[in-house]
């Protein structure tokens, strides 16, 4: 448990996609938990992290969002989407934020 956060837990380590044998061994002990990989946050919090950590990605997403309900949506998507950095939310935000002491 983490002080002041009754439902949060500190982890000793994280294993990305263990092979079947390792996963079975983890399950057999009953001492391991799975990270479901779901993020629940306000959009402004996520966008704030992206703005700080990945400014070009943030700017591209804001450009797409601004055009979303306009006749230019497809044009803007076609122009900007392919140029966005391909990075998982884990690597883009969760890991750097947790290294700074934030909750991810």
Query: What pLDDT digit, counting tens, does each position of 10-37 carry?
Result: 778 888 889 999 999 999 999 888 877 7
Which pLDDT does position 102 carry in this prediction?
A: 79
Residue at token pair 């997403």: 61
**Tokens of residue 53, six digits:** 């950590």
Cα–Cα distance list, 57 to 40, 52, 71, 87, 97 (Å): 20, 10, 23, 10, 16
- Give me the mean pLDDT over the 67-93 stretch: 96
Q: Indicate the length of the chain as a whole number.
A: 104
């Amino acid at each position: 448990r983490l002080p002041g956060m009754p439902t949060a837990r500190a982890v000793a380590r994280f294993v990305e996609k263990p092979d079947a044998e390792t996963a079975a061994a983890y399950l057999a002990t009953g001492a391991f938990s799975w990270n479901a990989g779901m993020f629940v946050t306000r959009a402004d919090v996520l966008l704030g992290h992206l703005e700080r950590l990945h400014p070009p990605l943030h700017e591209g997403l804001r450009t797409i969002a601004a055009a979303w309900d306009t006749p230019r949506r497809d044009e803007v998507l076609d122009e900007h989407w392919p140029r966005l950095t391909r990075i998982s939310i884990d690597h883009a935000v969760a890991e750097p934020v947790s290294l700074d002491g934030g909750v991810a």
